[in-house]
Every structure is written in C-alpha cells, then in structure tokens.
Structure 1
Amino acid sequence: MVQNPGRRAALVDAAIEVLAREGARGLTFRAVDAEAGVPKGTASNYFAGRDELIRQVSRQIHRRIAPDPAEVEQVLQAPRSRELVIELLSWVNRRVATERTGYLAMLELRLEATRRPELRAELTRTVREVLDADLAFHRDAGLPGDRTGVTLLYLAMTGLMLEQLTLPGVVPQGETEALVAVLVERMLPAQ
C-alpha cells in the first residue's frame, strides 16, 4: 500500500463525505477518488480493501467531530455547575450542525455495523472508549452528576442528535437549547 499520509488522510476525509451523502452502499473506491479529485484507482492503492477504508473512516470520524481542546479549556473556566453542563451539552448540540457530515457518516457506520459483525465489534469498542473518556472528563472536571446521570445525558443527547440529523422538523432548532437545559436539570440533582 502507498504510504503518503497526507494523501491517505485526504482520501479518508473524502470517504467521510461520500458516506454521509451516499450511505455505506455508495462508499466505493471510485466514489472516494471522485470526491477527493484524484485519478481513478488512487484509493485502491491506499487501502487493502473496502473494510480497511471503513476502519480508517471510523477512526477519523471521531477525531474530526471532537472539539478543539483549547475551546474546551476556555469553556471550563466557568464555575463547575449544572449551568456549565448545560453550556457544554448545548455546545455539543451546536457542533452537530457545524460538523453535520461527520455525524451523518457516523450514523451510516452504525447502520452498517448492524450488518457487519467485524465492524460492529470495532465500532462498539471505539464508541465505548469515547463514552468512557466523556465520563472521565466529566468526573475529572469536577462537574456535577454521577456516572448514571451522565450516561443518561449521553443517551438523551444521542437521541436528540439523531432527530436533528435525520428529521430536523421533529424538534425545531429553536427548542433544543431549552430542552437541553431541562434535561440537565432533571438528570443532575441540584447541589
């Protein structure tokens, strides 16, 4: 396989775009080449097969949708409170709009994982690591709430993201901030 890290990263990013737009069935080497604007056959020179491309996409999506650590540090300058948790979750919710392609691609991977046991195992491991890191972040940052409450927030936010990405009219954008606030207030007891 060819070893040009910049080109490989561009191909993976192009694959994320294709996956978000066309779904897993549309994720072909030819479609990735076209999206990346490279000659036909380029992607097949970088990835041993479609499974390898999908594994690379799975890893890259999480890096792509992760917030900038400097921005996180800035937000964490506020006192540790439910209001800060509301702000953090609202911030995550706003990222769905700005990183829509990455989140849609992740949904497509999750659907594809229901049909492919090897992808299911890898994606389960990756998402579990992300959830564990989120739980540790919450605890280490001294934010209010126990593991169960934070896990429930994660699950509720995942559902909200799903609605916004697939059927945005179900929960109008103007209502999400208030819903997030109520969610936090009900899941995390006042201190």
Structure 2
Amino acid sequence: MAQNPARRTALTDAAIDVLADQGARGLTFRAVDVRAGVPAGTASNYFAGRDDLLHQTARHIHHRLTPDPAVIAELLRAPHDRSLVTALMHDLLRRIDAERSGYLAMLELRLEATRRPEVRAQLTATIREQLEANIAYHLDEGFPGDRETVLTLYLAMTGLLVEHLTLPDVLGPDTLPGLVDTLVARIVPEA
C-alpha cells in the first residue's frame, strides 16, 4: 500500500464527495480517482479493497466533522450548564451545514451498512467509539444530565440533522435555531 498521507487524505476527501453525490453504489476506485484528479489506479494503491476504502472514509468523515479546538475552548469558558449545551448543539449544526457532504456521505455509509455486514461491523465500531467518547466528555466536563441525557440528545439531533439535510423544506431553515433550543431545553436538565 502506498504511504503518502496527503494523497490518502485527498483520496478519502474525494470518496466523501462521491458518496454524497452518487451514493454507495457510485463509490468505485475509478470514481474516487476521477474526483481526486489523480491517475487511474491511484486509489487501488492506497486501499486494500472497497471495504477498506469505506472504513477509511468513515473515519475521515469523523475527522472532518471534529469541532475546531479554538471554538470549543472559547465556548467552554462559559458555565457548564444547559446554555452551554445549547451553544454546543448550535455549533454542531453550523459544522454540519459547513460539512454537508461529509454528513450525507455518513448517511450513505449507514445505508450501505444495512446491506453489508462487514461495513455494519466497522461503522458500528466507529460510531459507538465516537458516541462513547461524547458521553464520557459530557460527564467528565460536568454538563447537566447523565448518560441517558446524552443518548437522547444524540438521537434527537441526529433526527434533526437528517431532516435538515435530506428534506430541508419540511422544517424550513428559519426554524432550526429554535428547534435546537427546544430540544436541549426538553432533554437536558437545568444544572
């Protein structure tokens, strides 16, 4: 396998775009090569097979969706109460809007996981790891609520994001900030 980290990143970025635009069925090494603007056969030199490409793409999506440490550091200066959780959820919505193709690609990977057990196993492990890290972070930072609070908020925000990105006219973009506020107010207890 080729070891150029910048090229691997460019290929996984291209794979994310292909997934978002064409779905999992359109994700081929050739499509990734074309999207990345590299010679034919390049992607096959970086990934052991399609499953490896899907797995590495899922991991890279999480990297692209990771919050900016400077933004989080600034937000965390506030008291660790419901208002801060609300601000963090608004930041999540902002990041998803900025990284729309990444989140749509993740939805495509989730759909592919329903058809392919090997993808399901890898994606489940990746998402479970991230969810457990988020729960631990919430509890360690002393935010209000418990494990179930974080799980409920995760499920509510996931549903809101899916609706927003796939059928945005159902809710309308002007309602999103208020919906985020309502979700947090109804799920997260006061400190």
- For this structure pair, what is the TM-score category when the shorter chain's length is used for normalisation? over 0.9
CA distance in 2, matches of 1:129, 1:2: 27
**Which residue does 1:22 correspond to in 2?**
22
CA distance in 1, matches of 2:52, 2:91: 32
CA distance in 1, matches of 2:46, 2:80: 46
RMSD: 1.1
**Which residue does 1:113 correspond to in 2?**
113
CA distance in 1, matches of 2:96, 2:8: 25
Please report the TM-score for the alignment, with normalisation by the length of structure 1. Answer: 0.96
Mapped pair 1:61 → 2:61: yes
Mapped pair 1:84 → 2:87: no
Structure 1 residue runs of 5 or longer lacking an equivalent are none
**Which residue does 2:184 correspond to in 1?**
184
**Which residue does 2:44 correspond to in 1?**
44
Could you tell me how far 1:79 is from its partner in structure 2? Answer: 1.1
Mapped pair 1:98 → 2:103: no
CA distance in 2, matches of 1:6, 1:15: 14
Could you tell me how far 1:70 is from its partner in structure 2? Answer: 2.1
**Which residue does 1:151 correspond to in 2?**
151
CA distance in 2, matches of 1:142, 1:157: 20
Could you tell me how far 1:7 is from its partner in structure 2? Answer: 1.0
Which residue type is aligned with residue 160 of structure 1?
A: L
Structure 2 residue runs of 5 or longer lacking an equivalent are none
**Which residue does 1:70 correspond to in 2?**
70
Q: What do residues 126-150 of structure 1 show as CA deviations (whole Å, max 9, x unaligned)?
A: 1111111111111111111111112
**Which residue does 2:132 correspond to in 1?**
132
**Secondary structure class of the residue paired with 2:39:** coil
Q: What do residues 101-140 of structure 1 show as CA deviations (whole Å, max 9, x unaligned)?
A: 1100100000000001011011111111111111111111
Please report the TM-score for the alignment, with normalisation by the length of structure 2. Answer: 0.96
**Which residue does 1:34 correspond to in 2?**
34
CA distance in 2, matches of 1:48, 1:181: 44
**Secondary structure class of the residue paired with 1:169:** helix
Which residue type is aligned with residue 151 of structure 2?
A: T
Could you tell me how far 1:90 is from its partner in structure 2? Answer: 1.2
Mapped pair 1:173 → 2:173: yes
Q: Percent sequence identity over matched residues?
A: 61
Alpha carbons of structure 1 residues 33 and 144: separation in structure 2 relative to 1, 3 Å: same
